[in-house]
Amino acid sequence: MSSVVEILLCLLGLLGHVSVCVAAVNRIQGAVADHSFEKLLKRSVYLWALLGLVLPFFLMWRSAESVTPWQVVARQLVADWGYFTLATAWLVVVAIRRLAQQFVDRCPDSWAITQTEVLHISEEAAKESEDNYYPEANRSFLLTLAGNQVGQLEVNRKTLYLPQLPSKLEGLTITHFSDLHITGVIPQVFYDRLCDEILELDSELVFLTGDILDVPSKLPWVSRLARRLTTSKECYFVLGNHDVRHGQDEKLRAALVAEKCVDLGSTYRHVDIRGEQVLLAGNELPWIGTAPECRPKSNEFAIGVVHTPDLIGWGRQQDYDLLLAGHAHGGQIRIPGIGPIICPSVHGVRYASGVFRKGRTLMHVSRGISGLQPVRFRCRPELTQLTLRRPDRQ
């Protein structure tokens, strides 16, 4: 075997090792509700990620022959077998499954994007103001990276086609936004501008699907946003995992309710929209509360509001027509030709963002507005207006 082939095989084995570690982190973040336990498990994976890089050197030291670390890995892949053989096999399985999922999950007849507008909020605000746009005290080096799309906002208008949509709800507009992750790193002017855009969309319903606040001292920012939104609109919300981490989730919930936002956490309500009864049900699992047991009455249109798209199975089981989710941030970093890598979900990156159909349930996953880390590459923050239509009105 030539050294070039050995090095290429070694790189393949190491890539397999990285894919094993990334898959483990994604599943831990998606499935473990307790944050301390989640952190412990993630640290174990990071340690294993590091050890995997040292493993070829250890095996070289144990070998009786004189071999290089890349020869050790390459031999595992072609002649012998060991951890790197399994890791490479895992990488191949992941690649095949990802390709198959993209084929299975495509539902082009169920939705269409009708308009996209990109707002460069940070650039515009920086031009208008003498002051620095990002507050000096909280400035992260990530904000200085070329190509980082934090500070931008993509306003998307999408049409969803639902065969079971009652005729009275034809053309119903819904604004869906998620994952504000208010920390103070992104200035308040950004959230003010976001609020302007939501008001301009002028949808009949507004849904916020969790991860609203990361730093409790910024609670007044949430109240200000909620106050402006509810002056003319019904705004419904559920909380997410980051809203629980700081232990102030009940205070946050109370602040939103005080501004007349409607709390759907672990509960449901039947509301009258255009003279049609619609079921709205919220589920904050696996972090908070319980799943509300409420199936739609016969012919009743039902919307499920959740934080994690992992609840798509629940939505389908409950016979909901539409499920709104966030949590995954679209992966935050998307690699050309590959897509997102990191996604806190038991399904990996499958439901990172977009529209998915399972049975009668159509799920919209928002890329969200922000993230705990202010980094976005090829994955702009997203605000969406959904228009519901019957397929025969295409």
- Please give the residue ranges that form the binding site for Fe ion (CB under 5 A): 179, 211
Give the list of residues 6+ apart from residue 331 with CB closer than 8 angstroms, or none: 339, 340, 341, 342, 343, 349, 352, 353, 379
Nearer to Fe ion, 308 or 361 (CB): 308
Identity of the residue, 235 or 244, whose beta carbon is nearer to Fe ion in the bound complex? 244
Nearer CB in complex with Fe ion: 134/287: 287
Amino acid found at 169: L
Closest distance of CB 151 from Fe ion, Å: 18
CA 196 to chain centroid, in Å, comes to 23
- Residue 320 C-beta: closest distance to Fe ion, Å: 22
Q: Minimal distance in Å, beta carbon 248 to Fe ion?
A: 16
270 burial (CB, 10 Å; 0-12 / 13-18 / 19+) is middle
Q: Which of 339/371 has CB closer to Fe ion?
A: 371
- Please identify, using beta-carbon distances, which residue of 76 and 370 lies nearer to Fe ion: 370
Our CB check for Fe ion shows the closer of 245 and 270 to be 245
Give the nearer residue to Fe ion in terms of CB position, either 280 or 369. 369
In 3D space, the residue among 27, 6, 1, 2 whose CA is nearest the CA of residue 84 turns out to be 6
3-state secondary structure of 181: coil
CB of 365 to Fe ion, least distance (A): 12
Q: How far is the CB of 328 from Fe ion (least distance, A)?
A: 8
Measured CA to CA in angstroms, residue 166 lies from 1, 157, 257, 275, 277 at distances of 66, 21, 30, 11, 10
What 3-state class would DSSP assign to 365?
strand
Least distance in Å: CB of 249 to Fe ion? 14
Residue with tokens 């977009």: 354
Nearer to Fe ion, 31 or 273 (CB): 31
Q: How far is the CB of 277 from Fe ion (least distance, A)?
A: 32
Question: Is the separation of the CB atoms in 347 and 363 below 8 Å?
Answer: no
Triad 330, 336, 140: Cα angle to 5°: 55
Residue 179 beta carbon to Fe ion: minimum distance, rounded to whole angstroms: 4
Q: How far apart are alpha carbons 128 and 111 in whole angstroms?
A: 38
Q: State the minimum distance, in angstroms, from the CB of residue 193 to Fe ion.
A: 20
Polymer length in residues for the chain:
394
The residue sitting closest to Fe ion, measured at its beta carbon, is 211
**Parallel, antiparallel or unpaired: strands 234-238 and 361-365:** unpaired
**Residue whose CB is less far from Fe ion, 211 or 382:** 211
Name the token pair of 184.
């103070």
Three-state secondary structure of 98-118: HHHHHHHHCCCCCEEEEEEEE
Asked if 121 and 153 touch (Cβ cutoff 8 Å), the reply is yes
